Amino acid sequence: MVALSEVVFALVASAFLLSTPSTAHPGLGFGWGGGSSGSGGGHGLFPEYYLYSCPQVNDIVVSVLEQAIEREPRMAASLLRLHFHDCFVQGCDASVLLDDSATIASEKRSLPNANSLRGFEVIDEIKAKLEEVCPGVVSCADIVALAARGSTVLSGGPDWELPLGRGDSRTASLTGSNNNIPPPNSTIQNLITLFQRQGLNEADLVALSGGHTIGVARCTSFKQRLYNQNGNNQPDATLERTYYQDLKTVCPQSGGDNNISPLDIASPVKFDNSYFKLVLWGKGLLNSDEVLLTGKVGKTMNLVKAYAEDESLFLQQFAKSMIKMGNISPLIGFNGEVRKNCRHVN
């Protein structure tokens, strides 16, 4: 028996093939078909999902993002991270957006997210604008994915053809959030294992880590490297000395946990490959950045060097890996819902 969602998918897909729409989003290059990488439609997701039901979806997302990032350039990285922290828990289902309730233990309270994950108000603003134009149509999970892509492009990074049609979850997993999101002090083996758990390989790990070309980290995330890396009250020997001295002024041994430092000191708000050059020079901020090189895993070491040398290679792989990550366990058809308010189930 064919599932109803498959019938709907087939009808919409065939309707799309019968039409020849012009580029949906001139100006910023967010074409439905004009991305830099092919889409992964094998999950029941496809880029043209809102072509008829809400053709303005991306224009609305981008207009909100432009204002939000202009107000606070750091917001681009926050929204990219929000997508990552959503997908790694129970798939890309907007579970991370749910607030505490009688039935929901919010993922916002997990160790990786508490007092750290940001961008919820921007998602709320996008959702409110979309509800005015296309009520009950665009899922919060798709909004998070669109915001991550838009933030990347507005920071000078690559565009990609984004498969859409994710449903919103009716559940969250605080335990999953605590256990599945790689901590900043991860070893290379820990990183590889946590990425493999999501069906992502070493190339995805290194490319997606390159998202740290924008954004900041709190002192608490790298303090261990400065003062007690191996339980011997000594700094991490792989830290470049001048960089180490600079970080100590930002991040004192006691207190200052919420002081921030850019993940990429060379170009903190520009999406480029300088992150990889910094890692090569011993100036990766987090342990999880530097171990891509110093962890003695040939594949990740070689990719760091390759991306440091060839920016276009990195940008291409980043786009591919973002598509792959965005395809983790989506809720298709009646498996998910379209929340009216991203913070609460319907």
Per the annotation, where are the binding residues for heme b?
212
Three-state SS across 272-319?
CCHHHHHHHCCCCCCHHHHHHHHCCCHHHHHHHHHHHHCHHHHHHHHH
The burial class, CB within 10 Å (0-12 / 13-18 / 19+), for 103 is exposed
- CA distances for 80 relative to 86, 100, 235, angstroms: 10, 23, 30
Q: How far apart are CA 306 and CA 202, in angstroms?
A: 13
User: How large is the angle between the packed helices 219-227 and 241-250, nearest 10 degrees?
Assistant: 130
- CA distances for 192 relative to 16, 125, 203, 307, angstroms: 39, 35, 10, 18
Give the three-state DSSP class for 331: strand
- Residue 146 tokens, joined: 């669109």
Please give the radius of gyration of the chain, using alpha carbons only, rounded to the nearest integer: 20
How many Cβ atoms from other residues are within 10 Å of residue 179's Cβ?
A: 15
HSE-CB at 53 with a 13 A cutoff on CA atoms is 15
User: Is 85 assigned a catalytic role?
Assistant: yes
Q: Which residues are known binding-site members for Ca(2+)?
A: 86, 89, 91, 93, 95, 107, 213, 264, 272
Residue indicated by tokens 């007690």: 228
Please name the residues in contact with 178: beta carbons below 8 A apart, sequence gap of 6 or more: 110, 111, 112
CB 192 within 8 A of CB 202: yes
Question: Which of 25, 43, 85, 344 is labelled catalytic?
Answer: 85
Q: Which residues are known binding-site members for substrate?
A: 182
> Which positions are annotated as active-site residues?
85
